[in-house]
Structure 1
Amino acid sequence: MKVRKKSRSQLLHQYYKYTGFYSFIWQGVKSAILPTAVIVGILFYVNYKVINLNEGLQQLTQNLNDFAIFGVFLASETILGIIPPDIFIAWTKSTSSPLLYLAILAILSYIGGVLAYFIGMTIAAIPAVNNFLYGKMARHIINMQKWGGFLIAVGALLPLPFAMACLAAGMIKFSRKHFFLFALLRFFRFIIYGFLIYSALS
């Protein structure tokens, strides 16, 4: 009896199932739903019941240079995503050109991920620093070795540490071409979250 060979997609599905990739995504989605709903809910409530957030954000940032805000955002997106990008997305709604500013944020976020990737590659060439961070980021690095580009895609789309995934990709010297392609999914996150947050602030 001839045994039918499994297709590449079937083998990949089997691999991701056995290595826990699907459960990892599901946990990420579950952990993302509640915070996203809470953030949007708070924005709705505050905007309609407490203070007009568009005016509040304008007053808060009127003494700050736009370039300074973009600089802080780029630094955050490069260094492990210290500040949630949702705060900056909400800020763009109060600017004179919201969609343009949102597009700039998306581009800077992508650039931040690329910088984190190259920082990871640089770290990999310094044994002492590499060993230290490898111990601190063991889980992320192991997951990157198992799932590669799909982990970058998940980090790009979900409220998971995108910069951390990019740093880990650089540390294991993940394919540069594939990294650039998977990281492009970051733009979709800004489209989706921009729509949700703009709706809450309308």
Structure 2
Amino acid sequence: MRLSPRMQFLLRNGFKGFLWLIIILGAYFLFKELVISHAPDEWMEKVYAKPVLVYLVYCFSEFFFGIIPPELFMIWAINKDTLAHYFMNLAFFAVVSYIMGYATFLIGRIFYHRDGFKRFRNTLLKEQWPLLKKYGLFLIIVAALTPLPWAAVSLLVGSAGYPSKRYLKYALFRLLRFAVYGYIIFQTHII
């Protein structure tokens, strides 16, 4: 059975996403073993003493192309307090990511209506533009589930004139990513 190019794109990038999660978790455990374990109170105090700053950094990161992977914030949350607190943080991170993605989508929609952007699109993106229109749905799903920069993809899809209702519907896959990755991080820390 031959998979369609869209499904191949989705599966290939889904595999890359889980590979990145394994790399991030491996790097975290290595850092924890080699650095944090020698002076755990000092490290934890620096990070956990300023949760508002952590939340602000997260919001900034999600708006500006996912500079810091959300999984690092999930790891921060699981080490912070109780299990209930972890799941509240996980829900917060998921909702903020969804909202920030929509905010950048709306910024892209503003670009879509600008004459300067239309000229840019017609000259420099003339070959990629039909692909973006064609794969918009799959691009949203892949970015929602994988480490592709969520805000950047949302901006591009918005600038392609993708309908808001369809974007919001398919962007819900972002919440699924947080549920799955959050569960995996939870499982790796209860051992």
Does TM-score exceed 0.5, indicating one fold?
A: yes
Indicate whether 1:25 and 2:13 are aligned: no
Q: 2:47 aligns with which of 25, 40, 61?
A: 61
Residue 168 of structure 2 is aligned to residue 180 of structure 1: yes
Write the distance in 1 (CA, Å) between the matches of 2:124 and 2:47: 36
User: C-alpha separation between the residues in 1 aligned to 2:44 and 2:69?
Assistant: 19
26-35 or 189-198, which deviates more: 26-35
For the residue of structure 2 that corresponds to 1:94, the secondary structure is: helix
Q: Confirm or deny: 8 A CA contact 2:140 2:153 kept in the other structure.
A: yes
Equivalent in the alignment of 2:76: 91
Deviation of 1:131 after TM superposition, in Å, equals 4.9
Tell me the equivalent position of 1:6.
Answer: none
> Bigger CA drift: 91-100 or 134-143?
134-143
Secondary structure of 1:75's match? helix
Alignment partner, residue 43 of structure 1: 28
- Equivalences, count: 185
Task: Please report the TM-score for the alignment, with normalisation by the length of structure 2.
Answer: 0.79
Q: For the residues of structure 1 that align with 2:6 and 2:156, how far apart are their CA atoms?
A: 17
Alpha-carbon displacement from aligned partner over 1:69-107 (angstroms, at most 9, x marks no partner): 222222222222222111111111123311111110000
User: Structure 1 unaligned runs (5+)?
Assistant: 1-13
Post-superposition Cα deviations, 1:126-147, rounded to whole Å, max 9, x if no partner, equal 3335655887877875443012
Distance 1:198 1:48, change over 3 A: farther
Match of 2:155 in 1: 167
Which whole-Å CA distance do the structure 1 matches of 2:42 and 2:119 have between them?
45
Q: 3-state SS of the aligned residue for 1:174?
A: coil
What root-mean-square deviation, in Å, do the aligned CA atoms of Structure 1 and Structure 2 show? 3.0
Contact 2:144 2:171 (C-alpha < 8 Å) held by counterparts: yes
* Separation of aligned partners in 1, 2:108 and 2:50: 31
Q: Quick check: 1:156–1:183 contact (8 Å CA) kept in 2?
A: yes
Match of 1:155 in 2: 143
SS at match of 2:67: coil
Q: Which structure's CA Rg is the greater one?
A: 1
